Structure 1
Amino acid sequence: MPCSRLGLLRHALLTSACLAGGAPYARGEAAAAGTAADHKIADGGEQPAGSEQVNVFGQGSTRQLTSVSSKIIGQAAPGTNPLKVLDRLPGVYFQSADPYGAYEWSANLYIRGFAQSQLGFTLDDIPLGDQQFDNYDGLSITRAIISDNVARANVSQGAGSVAIASTSNLGGAVQLYSDDPKDRRGGHLEQTFGSNDTFRTFLRLDSGVLNRTGTKFFVSYQHTDLDKWKGSGYNLSDQVNAKLVQPVGTTGSLKLYFDWSAIRQFDYQDLSLNYLQTLGSHVDNYYPNYAAAYRAAQGIFTRNEQLTNDPLDVSYYSGTARRQDILSGLTYDTLIGDVLDWKSTIYGHGNSGYSTWATPYTPSPNGAPLSVRTQSPSIERYGALSSASLDLGRHTIEAGLWYEYVQTGQARYFSQAPLLGQGTLGDLNDHTPRDPFAQAWGYLFDTNTVQVHIQDTWRVTDTLKLNAGFRSLVTRTASNVYAQNPAFNGGNLVGSGALTASDGFLPQFSANWRFLPRHELFADISHNMRGFPVDGYGTNSSNTPWSANAAAFNRIRDTLKPETSWVYEGGYRLTTRPVTALLSVYHVDFSNRLQTISFGPIINPTTAVQNVGGVTTNGVEGSATITLLRGVSFFNSVSYNRSTFDDSLTTSAGEYHLRGKSVPNYPTLMYKTSLSVERGPYEAHIDGDYVSHRYLSYLNDASVPGYFIASLGARYTLGRDVLHLGPMRKVTFQLNAYNLFNKRYIATTGEVGNSLSGDYQSFLIGAPRQFFGTVGVDF
């Protein structure tokens, strides 16, 4: 029998309590700021001193590494997804239909052509999975940490370090680090108001150093409530973060991190080019007008849906998502004998929730022409990481181990909708639909992952550094189908079984040469592998093998190969006081690409995921931050990417000539600019982003146009010398404007996959101009 959602949540709560119970009492002042390992870049480069610039270009790193500090994250409207802030980095492209980047269905990050399901993500070294909407081995960054508590985010555009705990990082990694508690007792309270009835409250309380051993902690809470910018519905979230830091001796520390989050979201209507041309960009789901959705399911349309090529597909009552997560991690870090740095982390994570979709394609047994399809994902996972770094003078040898166990539940139900005049579906976020009349399928997936790595950083001379290492990765997933109904699966039994992705030697070689003071060259070569993604039957947007029926799964299970990549990059860095600049070139060979295709006779084709060839990527990026005057900086970046398919594709419908076609969803050209001014209590910045056209189809016969949007932010701070208001140390007023020129543009593309030819309902419109105001008080 599958685990219930309540049982899973109780188990996660117990896990977090056990981790908290293991935390000792103390912490010394010498380690209060964290050990040196907390501030090291993954391959041995140090965090540069200028961490309050727009970008830190990874001075001394052997790979391309860029970073965003908490100050830059704080320039965005409070509560903004940290991944959205990373969009200003070269080669990074973030998509979202809302200004915060909080609507998870639409949030998608691309780096150098790779989608976020092909990247690696961690928080304080804890893996966050692949950031897909129905994540099977992690959780979204917005649910893992409140953005106000992010200390910094490091981005490896080319490839993550061999040490990163991820089974999905084919082409880059994002590593976030939480802020430590402050040494001084106090707190911060802020209130944000804005467009769409936005109301966000954030409160953080810091204990300060409590005793001679240096114990300190913080607790924080945020509540966000905002309406959709079009249609009806809301985005509601509550979240708690807490962190305890306990020094151990003079060189060690224990850090306990805790996160609880709960979200309730309403979907925006996914659109197609046909819908956009016939109904306009403001068409949305019917909620709360149940009568209109009911009649539309009967073929009686009220918004001219009959003019489209698929009226039912633009006639939904609502789509909703509700999630609850608990994440906890305990890290011990110590320096032994001034030469050995040992760091270990244990973590646990529990997730429960459901998503609904009121579908006019499946009628209810009572005669209602629509029903509610409910998908119930759940996650229970535990893991441990341990690594040691030995300093031998010119050599630093580092090795580590990561193990994780995940049990993921996936189930799909259909529940009855009321007859017209006998009630409505109401707000489906308020209650799980009751008394399902059918269960299409139910899975339990068990995944075990083991990764070991070793690397050596050799400082050949004072100006030349070489890094070489490799990781060995094995991840095995076994599925068990505990329920299914072929009548709701197209007459099919769903696929079930085990798949293993493994490679004993995934190497990485890199170098850094400082050929002149403040001038560097770097180069990196790495080989990477992605584990097989997990999801249920008929959920093909993630190209999971388990989306196939039983016959197709059995046909592919012995021949399917995991996706792999070879990444080559090289570049030049300039780090001076007036100018920080970066120029890089890269080449990627992406192999064993997985894609959902149909094979067999056209009158009865079989759909499955198969390896369909490779992708070749070539690109160049240039960025520079220029300090024009004291307190005035000007940032610009340009990136060009050409990612093309290596092979054509043959399906039951014939051959598709994909060879040489561009990969959809990622722009070929991007330009980003930002002008920042800081004078005394005044701060202001204006940002601009240009994105070229993107293809919607694999054959490149459908596309969306490019766009340029601008954003503005300003802040004014009153200090204690002006306030004279007792405990208040600082009051801050902040204004943010998003999409300043009110540009209508297509934001997210491919959220439900991409068609081979033409387009279907697979993109979302970006939000219009939005304003947000915030008042913050430090005490």
Structure 2
Amino acid sequence: MRLTGRALIPLLLLGGGFAYAGDEPAGLTMEGLTVKGNREAELVDVPAGEPATVSVMPRRTVELLTGPARTNPYRALDLLPSVHSEQADAFGLTVDQNPLRIRGQIGDTFTRLSRTVEGVPLGVNVGQGAMGNLIDLDNLAGLSLVRGAVPVDRGFGFGNTAGALEQSLRWGSALPWLTLLRSDGAEHFNRTFVRLDSGELSTGTRLFASASRSSADKWRGAGDGERSNVSTGLSQPLPGNTSFSLFGVFNTFRQHVYRPLTYAQTQSDGFYRDYDYNGSLATPIGTATALQNINYYDYNRQRFNEYAILSVIEFRPTSDSTLTFKPYYAGSEGYRYFGNGTSSNNAVVNRVDITQAQLGFTAEYALTLGPSRVKVGYWYQDADTMPPPTSQKSYNIAANGLAFKGWGLLTKVEDRIFHEPYLAVSNRFGKLRLDAGVKYVRIELPEVTGYQTTGLGDISYDDALAASSGPAAGLHAAGSTQDAWLPNVGVSYEFDDRTSIRLTYGRNYAEGWLGPLYSTFKSNQSAFTAAGISLQDLWDGVKLELSDNVDLGARFGGDGWYVAPTLFYGAFHDKQVLAYDPRVNASYYQSSAAAQSMGAELEVGLTPLPWLTFFGSASYNRFRFDDDLRTAAGSTVQSAGKQVADAPEWLGKAGLTARLADFSVTPVVRYIGERYGDIENKEAIAAYEVVDLTLEYRRRKVWEFDELTVSLNLLNLFDKRYIGIIKNDQDISESLATSYYPGAPFTVVGSVGIKF
């Protein structure tokens, strides 16, 4: 790390943030979950009486833990048991190099993690750059995470076998406010955020608008990244017991990506801090240096524009019923460059252009009948999105820049259609609560057609389709349908509002990943054809991944403390893995594996003194494949009884906040146990622990301000050298190398916030 003079000019913080007096109630309500009382002092809450395994993080926690850029919600989850998240940088600006594991499952939003905003799956996260950090987290009221069985009226999206991350917006406040936040730090990091709230107008209208800009140099290697965001929201009561809310956001980012390490490189400390893409081109430029020059930093970058709009319309026909309709639209457009090749003869720079859009809605009718609450709902989505990619061009490196070589991919992909009707019933019998529901998921996978690219120049995607001589032989697969019934039942007994026990069973789902199948087939088409395997065969072999989940948990609590243990079990069926097939000398994704996850979690919250709050969590997870995996050719991958890649068995986290007058100090420590980069557990990555420290001064009514916050954040306080990210997207990688990324070094960031 390089600490420049500019890095330390303002004394500031990561998320140290500021309180917003008078603009939110003492209780936090999120997707049907209400946390009672004033939770500002608590980092995490585990609500009593909820059958599902849920952890709630109020806005104060989001401020403290989501990183100086305030864009990556995964960072706020990292105090929770069974959650492991790492970032390629210290600030949270990177988009696609931020893996998340929940109970060992990959938490990518294109297959296994449901990530919703106000209950709708807003934003496609595909193509290593799109919708990754769409929303400024300053505009969130809080987060909640459901682990294990996901209730049927939650967890919409491409899948939820890893769980459901729910984000609740901070709509316009009752009072008018102007909020400013400035952050500066190491690596020339800087961020400016401004938000204006209109307060409640005479018509009952509440408006807010915000804007932010963040940028930073990469901490290793050449290059940088920046992000700009504009958001606005409106809340309006309407006649006839109706309310209307509207939220819109436009986000743009560009970034140079970090270069991954091989496993051999992880064994040498010298690669931890200095290894990255080349800062300059090797000369003379030509074929002899092409393999070296595809690793030039400016040939490994991306740029995207993202936008989204959602509305919440709520109508109360009677005092006991509610009809809610939430339409939404989101999209992204941009491109990414990356070097590719294994020799000087095939070394090229590829450009992938990505345009995506999704249109959908949720509709729900909820009715209270005595002690029962009945919900009938439906989620629909039409997603025009990759994978597979629709456009890829290749360029040679020439003396005057990149010279067009040809089209690598020209593909037409139809839309994905999602249907999820559901029925949920919640009953209370005194202190006993019984929840039951069923959801039907139906995903219509897209038809795909590859087109001839011979003779096409460096033209747009639409022009290339029009100029193409037609579909390419063998590169067509008709659409297919995946569907399943997803039952869920949970029971809890609430001894009081702080102590309860619970048992939940539920089935979750995840869409099978199609994109890599197409790319692999096209690259090895002659071998697949010779082996009698068509693209349609690969398409038809993709199954909906299902998991059966059981959680047995409890919450014990009293004045100023709680303990929440959970035992969990998950059985995964038709799990998609990447396996090698010697018939085609290639690895490709197959829905052929079964695995089991079992373990225990513990969450603890303690306020022994009015000025001291503590939170801790620990988890053990044994997540292993049932059998050795076999390819279509009969070769064997020795996976039986082996821990899933990048899934640590042991995790431990702890944090506390100590307050003295207007000052507070918040240290947080995370322990991540040993992991493996491969399914056969040959590539071991050592355990590590990281300590972060936040110092904050927060005072109301200072000078002409309603509130002033000055804070300092020290990330990786002891400059720990460790491997944070293991990039092994589908849990098994035979014959293909796993990618590794080192954790960021000691980093200083400060913030000054004012509100008036």
Query: In structure 2, what is the Cα distance between the partners aligned to 1:739 and 1:408?
Result: 37
- 2:486 corresponds to 1:518: no
User: What's 1:742 paired with?
Assistant: 719
What TM-score, normalized by structure 2, do the two folds share?
0.87
Opposite residue 58 of structure 2, the aligned amino acid is: S
Checking the alignment, whether the CA contact within 8 Å between 1:54 and 1:72 is kept in structure 2 is yes
Opposite residue 455 of structure 1, the aligned amino acid is: A
Q: Counterpart of 1:400 in 2: which secondary structure?
A: strand
- 2:380 corresponds to 1:398: no
Q: Aligned-pair distance for 1:718?
A: 3.5
Q: Counterpart of 1:282 in 2: which secondary structure?
A: helix
User: What's 1:51 paired with?
Assistant: 39
User: What's 1:566 paired with?
Assistant: 548
Within the candidate set 163, 168, 193, 1:172 is matched to: 163
User: What's 1:474 paired with?
Assistant: 442
Opposite residue 411 of structure 1, the aligned amino acid is: T
Q: Aligned-pair distance for 1:442?
A: 2.4
* Unaligned segments of structure 2, at least 5 residues: 1-22, 457-471
Query: In structure 2, what is the Cα distance between the partners aligned to 1:47 and 1:548?
Result: 55
Matches within 5 A, 1:250-649: 251-277=241-267, 280-291=271-282, 298=289, 318-361=299-342, 370-408=347-385, 410-419=389-398, 422-424=399-401, 435=404, 437-461=406-430, 463-484=431-452, 494=475, 496-503=477-484, 505-515=485-495, 518-535=498-515, 551-599=533-581, 601=583, 604-605=584-585, 607-649=587-629
Q: Counterpart of 2:175 in 1: which secondary structure?
A: coil
Q: Aligned-pair distance for 1:471?
A: 0.4
Q: Counterpart of 2:536 in 1: which secondary structure?
A: helix
Flag the 1:670–1:759 CA change in 2: closer, same or farther, 3 A. farther
Can you list the C-alpha shifts for 1:598-655, whole angstroms capped at 9, x where unaligned?
4363xx4465432222110101011111112102011111100000101211234821
Q: Aligned-pair distance for 1:375?
A: 1.2
Q: Select between 401-410 and 581-590 the one with higher mean Cα deviation.
A: 401-410
Query: In structure 1, what is the Cα distance between the partners aligned to 2:678 and 2:113?
Result: 22
Query: In structure 1, what is the Cα distance between the partners aligned to 2:690 and 2:330?
Result: 37
Can you list the C-alpha shifts for 1:149-171, whole angstroms capped at 9, x where unaligned?
11111100113221122230123
User: What's 1:123 paired with?
Assistant: 117
Can you list the C-alpha shifts for 1:95-143, whole angstroms capped at 9, x where unaligned?
21111233122111111111113121101112146745547xx832x21
Matches within 5 A, 1:640-679: 640-651=620-631, 652=633, 654-679=635-660
Checking the alignment, whether the CA contact within 8 Å between 1:247 and 1:254 is kept in structure 2 is yes
Q: Counterpart of 1:760 in 2: which secondary structure?
A: coil
Checking the alignment, whether the CA contact within 8 Å between 2:447 and 2:478 is kept in structure 1 is yes
User: What's 2:52 paired with?
Assistant: 63
Query: In structure 2, what is the Cα distance between the partners aligned to 1:517 and 1:536?
Result: 49
Can you list the C-alpha shifts for 1:373-393, whole angstroms capped at 9, x where unaligned?
011121121111110110111
Checking the alignment, whether the CA contact within 8 Å between 2:277 and 2:297 is kept in structure 1 is yes
Can you list the C-alpha shifts for 1:440-485, whole angstroms capped at 9, x where unaligned?
3323231111110111101012x10000001011110223325355
Q: Counterpart of 2:370 in 1: which secondary structure?
A: coil
Q: Counterpart of 1:573 in 2: which secondary structure?
A: strand
Checking the alignment, whether the CA contact within 8 Å between 1:529 and 1:563 is kept in structure 2 is yes
Can you list the C-alpha shifts for 1:255-289, whole angstroms capped at 9, x where unaligned?
00001000101111111122334662234444440
Q: Counterpart of 2:265 in 1: which secondary structure?
A: helix
Opposite residue 742 of structure 1, the aligned amino acid is: D
Within the candidate set 155, 178, 193, 2:145 is matched to: 155
What TM-score, normalized by structure 1, do the two folds share?
0.84
Checking the alignment, whether the CA contact within 8 Å between 1:526 and 1:568 is kept in structure 2 is yes
Q: Counterpart of 2:447 in 1: which secondary structure?
A: strand
More strand by share: 2
Query: In structure 2, what is the Cα distance between the partners aligned to 1:519 and 1:705?
Result: 38
Flag the 1:774–1:600 CA change in 2: closer, same or farther, 3 A. closer
Opposite residue 630 of structure 2, the aligned amino acid is: T
Checking the alignment, whether the CA contact within 8 Å between 1:644 and 1:663 is kept in structure 2 is yes
Checking the alignment, whether the CA contact within 8 Å between 1:508 and 1:526 is kept in structure 2 is yes
Query: In structure 1, what is the Cα distance between the partners aligned to 2:686 and 2:279?
Result: 32
User: What's 1:195 paired with?
Assistant: 186
User: What's 1:210 paired with?
Assistant: 201
Q: Counterpart of 1:72 in 2: which secondary structure?
A: helix
Q: Aligned-pair distance for 1:72?
A: 1.1
Q: Aligned-pair distance for 1:90?
A: 1.5
Checking the alignment, whether the CA contact within 8 Å between 1:530 and 1:562 is kept in structure 2 is yes
Within the candidate set 44, 47, 69, 1:79 is matched to: 69
Opposite residue 704 of structure 1, the aligned amino acid is: I
Q: Counterpart of 1:59 in 2: which secondary structure?
A: coil
Query: In structure 1, what is the Cα distance between the partners aligned to 2:736 and 2:272?
Result: 16
Q: Select between 235-244 and 327-336 the one with higher mean Cα deviation.
A: 327-336
Query: In structure 1, what is the Cα distance between the partners aligned to 2:308 and 2:62?
Result: 22
Q: Aligned-pair distance for 1:516?
A: 5.2
Query: In structure 2, what is the Cα distance between the partners aligned to 1:33 and 1:54?
Result: 17
User: What's 1:39 paired with?
Assistant: 29
Query: In structure 1, what is the Cα distance between the partners aligned to 2:126 and 2:103?
Result: 18
Query: In structure 1, what is the Cα distance between the partners aligned to 2:284 and 2:218?
Result: 19
Q: Select between 561-570 and 99-108 the one with higher mean Cα deviation.
A: 99-108
Query: In structure 2, what is the Cα distance between the partners aligned to 1:632 and 1:648?
Result: 50
Greater relative contact order, per chain length (Cα 8 Å cut-off, separation 6+)? 2
Q: How many residues align?
A: 701
Flag the 1:495–1:75 CA change in 2: closer, same or farther, 3 A. same
- 2:744 corresponds to 1:767: yes
Flag the 1:472–1:548 CA change in 2: closer, same or farther, 3 A. farther
Q: Aligned-pair distance for 1:539?
A: 5.6
Checking the alignment, whether the CA contact within 8 Å between 1:495 and 1:551 is kept in structure 2 is no
Query: In structure 2, what is the Cα distance between the partners aligned to 1:159 and 1:187?
Result: 41
Can you list the C-alpha shifts for 1:382-421, whole angstroms capped at 9, x where unaligned?
11111011011111101101111111252343343443xx
Q: Aligned-pair distance for 1:670?
A: 0.5
Can you list the C-alpha shifts for 1:634-681, whole angstroms capped at 9, x where unaligned?
111110000010121123482122111111111100110101112332
Q: Counterpart of 1:281 in 2: which secondary structure?
A: helix
Q: Aligned-pair distance for 1:597?
A: 2.7
RMSD: 3.0
Query: In structure 2, what is the Cα distance between the partners aligned to 1:417 and 1:194?
Result: 38
Q: Counterpart of 2:415 in 1: which secondary structure?
A: strand
- 2:123 corresponds to 1:146: no
Matches within 5 A, 1:751-766: 751=728, 756=733, 760-766=737-743
Q: Counterpart of 1:46 in 2: which secondary structure?
A: strand
Checking the alignment, whether the CA contact within 8 Å between 2:69 and 2:91 is kept in structure 1 is yes
Opposite residue 497 of structure 1, the aligned amino acid is: A
Query: In structure 2, what is the Cα distance between the partners aligned to 1:548 and 1:85?
Result: 45
Flag the 1:317–1:777 CA change in 2: closer, same or farther, 3 A. closer
Flag the 1:654–1:316 CA change in 2: closer, same or farther, 3 A. farther
Q: Aligned-pair distance for 1:741?
A: 0.4
Query: In structure 1, what is the Cα distance between the partners aligned to 2:369 and 2:198?
Result: 39
